[in-house]
Amino acid sequence: MASAIEHIFTVTALLSVVLFSHSAAEPVPAAWPEQFHSVLFMNRSGSLQKLDLWYDWPNGRNFNIIQDQLNDVVDYDLEWTNGTSFMYTLHPSDRHCKVVHVEVGILRPNWLDGATYLGQEQVDNFLCNVWEKVDFIVYYEDVLTRRPVKWIFYTGYTAHVMTFEVGAVLEDAQWQAPEYCFNQTENMLESATVRGDSFGSLMRGKVDAAAA
């Protein structure tokens, strides 16, 4: 008798541990490291890009360096957390710069807070936890290493994470926009919020609209 009661007690205790840990264990996305470099392969409806992402939160800056497949003209999208973005090219055949001001800074390391957990999925050959921020992004993180593997903007524009170097910092000299960014005619300056479907505007414009 005593052992039967003991048994029931043990089962109940085990069950409550299982239930409790199950409800408490819904995964949350890892915060982004304060500084990292990542190479992303981007796909927009079959148009491919290689994108170098230099995220540098302590210095209030983020760099997206974008190369379209087999295109020598590289697009530089340099974002400062004061809202100024310099979007330029350096290639002699197509040298220009556009300076844009937005109301928001760069993404915070915890920008994924509050995302909705969707479960696990095998993605790009990695077992991933998946979250969604409605009208913004679906985000896939490797279950084992907690590194991002892939994300899909609401437009379908997709990032595959090829490298993720935590702590890598691009040297200061590389963050200098070219001279011709500081020699702008009036109509090249825009005060409006960035819109459109470029990587930078998606990462910057939409997340804060979603958070607001």
Ligand X SMILES: *[C@@H]1O[C@H](CO)[C@@H](O)[C@H](O)[C@H]1NC(C)=O
Residues that bind ligand X (CB under 6 A): 43, 45-46, 48, 80, 82, 84, 183, 185
> In the complex, what is the shortest distance from the CB of residue 98 to ligand X, in angstroms, rounded to a whole number?
14
In DSSP terms, which residues pair with 87 in a beta bridge? Answer: 77, 98
> In the complex, what is the shortest distance from the CB of residue 104 to ligand X, in angstroms, rounded to a whole number?
13
Question: CA separation (Å) from 132 to 41, 113, 135, 158?
Answer: 20, 10, 9, 14
Kindly write down the DSSP assignment for every residue of 92-115, as one continuous string.
TTS--EEEEE-SS-SPPTTTTTTP
> In the complex, what is the shortest distance from the CB of residue 26 to ligand X, in angstroms, rounded to a whole number?
30
C-alpha 82/C-alpha 62 separation (Å) is 11
Residue whose CB is less far from ligand X, 49 or 129: 49
Residue whose CB is less far from ligand X, 159 or 207: 159
> In the complex, what is the shortest distance from the CB of residue 43 to ligand X, in angstroms, rounded to a whole number?
4
Residue whose CB is less far from ligand X, 23 or 191: 191
Kindly write down the DSSP assignment for every residue of 33-100, as one continuous string.
PSEEEEEEEEEETTEEEEEEEEEETTTTEEEEEEEETT-S--EEEEEETTSEEEEE---TTS--EEEE
Residue whose CB is less far from ligand X, 84 or 193: 84
> In the complex, what is the shortest distance from the CB of residue 25 to ligand X, in angstroms, rounded to a whole number?
33
Residue whose CB is less far from ligand X, 28 or 169: 169
- CA quadruple 185, 186, 187, 190: dihedral sign: positive
